[in-house]
């Protein structure tokens, strides 16, 4: 039985969510909510929607629609707590765009409410469904890279520029989610510094450092005012480096190479490049299918549940506090 769903917010990302749900036979789109009439008109024309899909600027109008079982929320982050709370109290399942909220307390309350209501709360951390991320995790678990030394990531572009969160919350959250997923742990200490150029109090460029309980350390650079678009993450081990470059023709590779000590010299040996083959799939399509499976099977997400979203919010709050204190190291419990 197809899940009756409403999509809240059809801006850039919400339109992609809508497309995937419209194309999925396990979903039945009943309503679309957006505060801007022109957005509603655009998607109605783009997807040739008929009168069976209710279009409205008022989210309260859809919560009691007959047959509605779930909502997908792709609205500004500051609206999430209100919308998710209302949906869960109406016994609706929720797929929410990242970040879950802007507050650790709000995020925890939503997770607890979802459990009380016995509803699914899944967060759209799209990269956790990316074939390269899934394969990268498998590779790291084999131990082939040897002892892991450090990691680094760069995520830059020239727009879009958000006005609800800064570049840290918008961009670094992806790499933090991937690293946590790969290592099955979260940072115990974080540091960050940022620079503001475009909007008061919203950092456009951020440099962050994450230290994990294992001793692994990763640096992340994000910016939305850099014309040099980058989507690159690397984990360096004693036997080689795992490289996820989303913009490359071959996005997941291993650059093998290690040192052999000869007296007081270190000689590079076993150097070669290996391309890891990946299946072709759209990560967001997998997110939507995963959410529908969780709803239909009454099963909590094992990949991106609300609690994972709350954990990432905690890390981002700590990084923001470090930025506020000019890079002071912040401990995480």
User: What does the pLDDT look like over 6-42, one tens digit per residue?
Assistant: 999 999 999 999 999 999 999 999 999 999 999 999 9
Hey, how many other C-beta atoms are within 10 angstroms of the C-beta on 264? Answer: 5
Tally of domains within the chain: 2
Examine the domain organization and report whether 140 and 266 are in the same domain. Answer: yes
Examine the domain organization and report whether 163 and 37 are in the same domain. Answer: no
| Rounded Cα gap, residues 315 and 322, in angstroms | 11
Examine the domain organization and report whether 91 and 136 are in the same domain. Answer: no
Helix or strand run (H / E) with residue 13: helix 12-22
What is the reported pLDDT for 333? Answer: 85
In the block, tokens 């899934």 appear at 134
| Rounded Cα gap, residues 12 and 71, in angstroms | 17
Structure tokens at 102: 């802007």
Q: How far, in whole angstroms, is CA 17 from its chain's centroid?
A: 14
Examine the domain organization and report whether 22 and 44 are in the same domain. Answer: yes
Residue 120 near residue 294 (C-beta atoms within 8 A) = yes
Examine the domain organization and report whether 98 and 168 are in the same domain. Answer: no
What is the reported pLDDT for 76? Answer: 94
Examine the domain organization and report whether 258 and 243 are in the same domain. Answer: yes
| Rounded Cα gap, residues 137 and 176, in angstroms | 14
Hey, how many other C-beta atoms are within 10 angstroms of the C-beta on 257? Answer: 15
pTM of the complete model: 0.95
- List the end-to-end C-alpha distance of the chain, in Å, as a whole number: 43
In the block, tokens 């997998």 appear at 286
Examine the domain organization and report whether 275 and 137 are in the same domain. Answer: yes
| Rounded Cα gap, residues 216 and 102, in angstroms | 27
Examine the domain organization and report whether 30 and 142 are in the same domain. Answer: no
What is the reported pLDDT for 327? Answer: 97
Examine the domain organization and report whether 163 and 269 are in the same domain. Answer: yes
Domain range for residue 100? 3-126+283-305
- State the burial class of residue 80 (Cβ atoms within 10 Å of its Cβ: 0-12, 13-18, 19+): buried
CATH of the domain at 83: 3.40.50.720
CATH of the domain at 254: 3.30.360.10
Residue 171 near residue 224 (C-beta atoms within 8 A) = yes
Within the chain, how many helices (H) and strands (E) appear?
Answer: 9, 15
Q: What is the pLDDT of residues 244-281, one digit of tens each?
A: 999 999 999 999 999 999 999 999 999 999 999 999 99
Q: What is the pLDDT of residues 165-174, one digit of tens each?
A: 999 999 999 9
Cβ neighbours of residue 251 under 8 Å, at least 6 residues apart? 132, 244, 245, 278
Examine the domain organization and report whether 267 and 180 are in the same domain. Answer: yes
Examine the domain organization and report whether 216 and 190 are in the same domain. Answer: yes
Examine the domain organization and report whether 102 and 195 are in the same domain. Answer: no
Which stretches of the chain score pLDDT less than 70? Answer: none
């Amino acid at each position: 039985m197809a899940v009756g769903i409403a999509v809240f917010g059809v801006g850039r990302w919400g339109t992609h969510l809508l497309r995937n749900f419209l194309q999925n036979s396990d979903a039945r789109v009943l309503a679309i909510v957006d505060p801007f009439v022109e957005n509603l008109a655009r998607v109605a024309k783009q997807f040739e929607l008929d009168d069976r899909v209710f279009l409205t600027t008022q989210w309260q109008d859809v919560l009691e629609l007959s047959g509605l079982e779930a909502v997908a929320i792709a609205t500004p982050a500051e609206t999430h707590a209100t919308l998710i709370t209302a949906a869960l109290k109406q016994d609706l399942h929720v797929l929410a765009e990242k970040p879950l909220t802007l507050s650790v307390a709000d995020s925890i309350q939503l997770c607890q409410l979802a459990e009380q209501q016995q509803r699914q709360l899944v967060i759209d951390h799209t990269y956790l469904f990316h074939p390269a991320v899934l394969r990268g995790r498998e590779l790291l678990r084999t131990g082939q890279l040897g002892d892991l030394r450090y990691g680094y990531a760069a995520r830059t572009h020239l727009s879009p520029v958000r006005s609800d969160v800064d570049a840290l919350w918008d961009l670094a959250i992806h790499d933090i989610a991937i690293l946590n997923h790969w290592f099955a742990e979260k940072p115990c200490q974080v540091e960050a510094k940022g620079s503001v150029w475009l909007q008061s109090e919203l950092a456009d460029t951020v440099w962050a450092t994450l230290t994990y309980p294992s001793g692994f350390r990763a640096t992340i650079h994000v910016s939305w005012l850099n014309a040099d678009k980058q989507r690159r993450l690397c984990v360096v081990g004693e036997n080689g480096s795992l490289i996820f470059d989303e913009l490359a023709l071959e996005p997941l590779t291993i650059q093998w190479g290690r040192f052999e000590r000869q007296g007081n010299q270190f000689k590079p040996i076993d150097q070669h490049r290996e391309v890891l083959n990946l299946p072709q799939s759209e990560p967001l399509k997998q997110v939507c299918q995963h959410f529908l499976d969780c709803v239909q099977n009454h099963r909590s997400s094992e990949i991106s549940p609300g609690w994972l979203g709350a954990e990432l919010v905690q890390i981002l709050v700590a990084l923001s506090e470090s930025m506020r204190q000019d890079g002071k190291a912040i401990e995480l419990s």
